[in-house]
Structure 1
């Protein structure tokens, strides 16, 4: 019968089995008839002191090796000639499917590796007679057992133990070692003979664990599901095969390694076929790429094979758009949590997967109980972690991949500890950098250790572990042996006496750097002053902002209209951003009053421009009074007083106002925003520029005399050799100064030698900046870089340096959103982009804008009677199809 040989017990005994059908097939031991090979070495039975180790008999190992290389993994045919009462079977084994193949016993005798049993020989037994003839020939040729010297050199120096296994493994430097797999205990644990020094060692596969056979108290073994199948999978591929083993580690006397066979890596194969799962504790030492093992396991999970047949992915209930998306970071909540803004405008809290922020340990928790505890400053490295995330992420677009949703926990489940709400845990990347990994590599967070069966973890968990190992090795952050950084931050909010002492210093300082820590309302903020290491409450000067609801002695005071919108506007613009403040005075409660600037934008002016605040009379004595008035006048210029009956009607249903004005488009940004000048004031700008250049020509500035500082207004020499008004946005070095041309909207990096002070007669008080930033209304800016570039190129080609008609539709966080028409044809620019398939429609929720883009299939952008655009909701509710 045709079978496969899977094990060679000695030079004269093999184990064979048939083809598997629904599981591991039965095995049979066949002892070769009429021949005998030397006995292999045997180890003394543990626990029985009367037994001893026995060495190889001469030529025994060579006989086993000859037979192993002949039959292992090969199809063989065998005949059974005799069966003892004890069940031992004797017969002949042939290579191939029938008895016409090579007779293994004859080959052994021919090579002098086995002797023939001559006792009881019968004359009518031709097979036995032939064996005797072959043995006589081997003797005459002095082969094997019949060679001179007795064969002492063929006895192995077999080593069952290693005196210092850790040093032994380290000495190999993770170089592949030739070996023979002698025994398979289960799918991931084998007994191997290391060559050429004959070390017999037990090796556990690094990074994985297979189902095992649990030993019970009575000595019996209970197989876990798929344990027998996993063992058969490894046996059928490795048992008694020539392999290479990379010995990778030796923790607790257990040797971890990777077995490499010419046909593949058994570790990866076990995972891919669902016979094993990844284990974190040994994954770290795996040298062939942990990501390959995770990918193999992920493949088995997705196919739900074997041990994963009941597997349910942590994000199985999420749509693709909820599993992976691009969002803008608005706030850093903690060292492991951020708030992002989705394309829909919704804000969502995201927790970084599998990391734990800095926390107090042991005795530190009991220190300074009387002191007001402030986690951000009092927990070591918490401030550094928050600052790392803030500087890296605030205001930036990031890629979010949700790894799992951690369910909410009740107080009962946490032993009385306050409950945690549901958490969305994700991997957040920016510019290809995993933020969690970067945080851990700097020692500003640690990796959470999970139960082996806990699948709710980061999709890049191994990279996090590796980053933590590097941080520990290099003594970074939390793992440093140096003294922890101490942040002595004074909170003088509401401390009138301290504020009075601090006020003159801030007034003399002019513009001071600050970080917005909290936004109470549209005009009330808490600031951290890094140079002064203090926290202050800051009120915006020159404006009167709507007040929100608050507790008063007489009860809850109702919020004024638009107070929430003002707070939201301020949060979006400045929360956790680096700003500059000018302190003018303080109130009776110890709150500082002044002006706040962010990237050249005065927050007070921005609130007025967006109709979220009005100018307060106290602004009259400020240098920003004219700018505030100009902003307010511009806002009211579009206001048209209605008859009382119309006003009453508008209170019920606000209508869209289409009041177009002529503008000249000067610059298009990469983000599909544009800058434009009002045509009405164009002559004023031309007159100012002509006068300014005349004065500069008469009194040229001294080259190199100007010292640039961020936020200052200046004049800059453009590429055409002419001078223009500009504002300094950033100073990297004297040779790299970032400037923004305030009348045209373009930006440039110049040397300070091409900059000079702005003559007072031509300042922004004389003529406000003429370039205003706008965004297209009802348009979704493509997230894909290539698609966005195509849209920008189209807009540049159509409208840059041309006169258009502009109408403000609604306010935005950064700038007004407008519709734009070509001056000659009155065709809408945004609608043209939609028709060309370059952008998608952004459906607004405001009732008075519903007529602009409706779900019934008619697009009335800019009051154009256009019936070519039929928005059609896709499955995710956001896609629109152009018909």
Structure 2
């Protein structure tokens, strides 16, 4: 017939028989699927039992357009109606016809979706509420919903009752405030959100496995949520970047599981970019961070995880992922890890994570770069009290003419920088010159002082142990003093570390010198990246390089890879010592 051969007026009809081989024909019956995303009031994405995902259009339905000011409110309501009814739900999908590719629009299945025990037609409900209309088809157009008459009847009912878009009312869109717009704005919201405990929210967008945009309807705000305690691999942000291993899988898993779901969030802090750090719960019990770690799609950030009330769940989940070699851990070898753990070759065994709150108390550049730290603990308050008594005691203490300080002796010394008295240890003493080289034991700074500025240390000021500890940066060495970048390297270290409360992980101990990985808790990366550190930042700036002489380096493969990546980044950007190209001493090889 003319119709079968698509002649003349039948030439544009698309019948079920024209469906491509990848699209089930309508005659095959409904498809069991799960709705994983709602795009608009008439389009959703589904995934079938075989895991195939596709975007489909509701047959014979036209939703309001979000781009039209008069329709925007109802477009949002239509999308929200579908989200509440369908997202994450098992549905029956009947393919009525295939809408052919036309211009910029891709070929798409046009479907009828039924859900729930009553097998309700979602399109009919949508139209009956006045949140969409039925398309007007030509009489000869058979590419339409199998229940087109019901859709038309539903629309007539909505018109009669003046529902939704048929009400004649122009309703403005509610204004949603971006609480993550700036760090200041985020901080202003944090306290009130923390007081509420778990806050109902909706996942509006999934940026990565551990980073989400959520909407809090009760407060009319949106915010960026970063899952605490873990780091998920990233996907490329532009064409010049590459996906981290399993970054795409982590993003896809999080999208399918949490996108547009009703969730609860429990916030604990904010970062410098305005992000909120906290937990996300699905169905009140599923902790998203624990789920991602169990699936082998995220790793634990030890420092932030240890302080979490559910840290035990995280470590148990990681152990399970390793045992089953899931995703990131696909090549995990438990026996190899045990062997590494048992190594005792010259102190190369990685130390158990030991995170300390510290402040840099002194930075030295001669004869080489070094620094000292004070550990911020219960001794900090004791030191403050001691120094008050110390200053009072020595302010007017007369010199003892017979006193000759000896090397290794603890003394009271006046610091030339401020004229105040501090506890110090004598390194060298010269009776001929009547001067000593000394180190101020509570701060780490060093100087040469005359005997006249030295007093015997009263025994009552000896009880508190020295508070400064000598330290160096783990894994790296700054640009050498014989290079033109030495001053820049020291200045950059000062800008990143001096005067700030930091977190330090002790990676190695060499006598009394601590090898530290310094972490700025205000750096947003530190909440999600276990290798984010000032050490890596200096390498990324081209002002430091990996120190291959450190034998413990191989015991930290994750950190080593992060430093290699930082080195390559510095080379690509021609930063610091790489501004003229590669250099001979290539420590990342």
Q: TM-score, normalised by structure 1?
A: 0.36
Please, which of 108, 121, 138 is the counterpart of residue 89 of structure 1? 108
In structure 2, do the counterparts of structure 1 residues 370 and 447 end up closer, same or farther at CA, with 3 Å as the change threshold? closer
- Separation in 1, partners of 2:251, 2:355: 38
* CA-atom RMSD in angstroms: 5.0
Q: 1:449 aligns with which of 506, 513, 517?
A: 517
1:165 aligns with 2:186: yes
Aligned twin of 2:395? none
Match of 2:523 in 1: none
Q: Quote the offset at 1:3 in angstroms.
A: 2.1
Contact 2:299–2:318 (CA under 8 A) maintained in structure 1? yes
Q: 1:49-88 alignment to 2 at 5 Å?
A: 57-76=72-91, 77-79=93-95, 80-85=97-102, 86-88=105-107
Distance 1:201 1:172 in 2: 11
Change (3 A) 1:351 1:299: closer
Tell me, what secondary structure is at the counterpart of 1:69?
helix
| Of 193, 196, 219, the match for 1:197 | 219
Does 1:237 pair with 2:257? Answer: yes
Instruction: Give the distance between the partners of 1:385 and 1:147, measured in 2 at CA.
Output: 78
Aligned to 1:380: 442
**Alignment match, 1:115:** 133
Separation in 1, partners of 2:55, 2:288: 26
How far has the Cα of 1:9 moved from its partner?
A: 0.8
Change (3 A) 1:229 1:169: same
- The answer (yes or no) to whether the contact 1:193–1:201 under 8 Å persists in 2 is yes
Q: Secondary structure at the match of 2:147?
A: helix
Assess, with a 3 A threshold, how the Cα gap between structure 1 residues 63 and 384 changes in structure 2: closer, same or farther: farther
Deviation at 1:13, TM superposition (A): 0.8
Quote how far apart the aligned CAs of 1:229 are: 1.8
1:207 aligns with 2:223: no
Q: CA deviation at 1:386?
A: 6.9
Q: Secondary structure at the match of 2:111?
A: strand
Q: Which has the higher contact order (CA 8 A, sep 6+)?
A: 2
> SS at 2:83's partner residue?
helix
Change (3 A) 1:226 1:208: same
Cα distance change of structure 1 residues 66 and 353 upon mapping to structure 2, 3 Å threshold: closer
SS of structure 2 residue aligned to 1:224: coil
Contact conserved, 2:134 with 2:151, CA < 8 A, in 1? yes
Structure 2 CA distance for partners of 1:355 and 1:94, relative to 1, 3 Å = closer
- Work out the CA distance in 2 between the residues paired with 1:60 and 1:66: 10
1:108 to partner: Cα distance: 0.9
Larger CA deviation: 195-204 vs 129-138: 195-204
The alpha-carbon distance between structure 1 residues 316 and 123, as it changes in their structure 2 partners (threshold 3 A), is closer
Give the conservation status (yes or no) of the 8 Å contact 2:236–2:244.
yes
Indicate which of 34, 55, 58 corresponds to 2:60.
Answer: 34
Query: How does 1:438-587 map onto structure 2 within 5 Å?
Result: 448-449=516-517, 452=530
Decide whether the 8 Å contact of 1:81 with 1:91 is kept in 2. Answer: yes
Could you tell me how far 1:41 is from its partner in structure 2? 6.6
Distance in structure 2 (CA, Å) of the matches to 1:455 and 1:385 = 37
Does the residue aligned with 2:517 lie in a helix, a strand or coil?
coil
- Give, in whole Å, the separation in 1 of the partners of 2:59 and 2:280: 36
Corresponding residue to 2:313 among 292, 296, 303: 292
CA contact (8 A) 2:202 2:261 kept: yes
Distance 2:361 2:425 in 1: 10
Q: Is it true that 1:186 corresponds to 2:208 in the alignment?
A: yes
Secondary structure of 1:222's aligned partner:
coil
**Cα distance, 1:265–1:352 mapped onto 2, change above 3 Å:** closer
Equivalences for 1:115-514 in 2 at 5 Å? Answer: 115-118=133-136, 120=138, 127-147=147-167, 149-152=169-172, 155-160=173-178, 162=181, 164-173=185-194, 175-216=197-238, 219=239, 222-253=242-273, 254-262=275-283, 263-280=285-302, 282-283=304-305, 286=308, 288-311=309-332, 316-317=338-339, 353-355=352-354, 361-363=362-364, 370-371=428-429, 379-380=441-442, 448-449=516-517, 452=530
Cα deviation, 1:584-606, whole Å, max 9, x if unaligned, reads xxxxxxxxxxxxxxxxxxxxxxx
> 1:384 & 1:36 partners in 2: Cα distance?
81
Report the Cα offset of residue 173 of structure 1: 2.0
Matched residues in 1 for 2:350 and 2:107: separation?
65
Deviations 1:107-155 (A, max 9, x none): 2112221112225355977633332121111222233333364445xx3
Q: How many Å separate the matches in 1 of 2:151 and 2:192?
A: 48
CA contact 2:236–2:243 (8 Å) conserved in 1: yes
Change over 3 Å in CA distance of 1:128–1:93 after alignment to 2: closer
8 Å contact kept, 1:6–1:72: yes
CA contact (8 A) 2:293 2:299 kept: yes
Q: Is the 8 A contact 1:179 1:243 kept in 2?
A: yes
Deviation at 1:26, TM superposition (A): 4.4
Is 1:356–1:445's contact at 8 Å kept on the other side of the alignment? no
Q: Unaligned stretches of 5+ in structure 1?
A: 43-53, 324-336, 338-349, 389-408, 416-435, 438-443, 458-883
Following the alignment from structure 1 to structure 2, what is the Cα–Cα distance between the partners of residues 257 and 66? 28
* Whole-angstrom distance in 1 between the partners of 2:443 and 2:297: 43
1:230-262 alpha-carbon deviations (Å, 9 max, x no partner) = 122212221111001123221112222211111
CA distance in 1, matches of 2:337, 2:42: 57
| Post-superposition CA distance 1:21-49 (Å, at most 9, x none) | xxxx443221222222223379xxxxxxx
Shift of 1:385: 7.9
Find the counterpart in structure 2 of residue 50 from structure 1.
Answer: none
Q: Which residue does 2:123 correspond to in 1?
A: 105
The aligned counterpart of 1:811 is none
Sort the Cα spacing of 1:376 and 1:107 in 2 relative to 1 into closer, same or farther, 3 A: farther
Aligned residue pairs: how many?
366
Deviation at 1:224, TM superposition (A): 2.1
Cα gap change, 1:378 to 1:310, in 2 (>3 Å)? farther
Structure 1 or 2, whichever has the larger Rg, is 1
C-alpha distance in structure 2 between counterparts of 1:385 and 1:270, whole Å: 46
Distance 2:214 2:248 in 1: 20
- Report if the CA contact (8 A) 1:209-1:279 is conserved: yes
For the residues of structure 1 that align with 2:328 and 2:311, how far apart are their CA atoms? Answer: 20
Preserved contact between residue 429 and residue 437 of structure 2 (Cα < 8 Å) = no
Change (3 A) 1:352 1:68: closer
CA distance in 2: counterparts of 1:96 and 1:296, whole angstroms: 34
* Aligned counterpart, 2:35: 5
Cα 1:64–1:232 change in 2 (3 A) is same
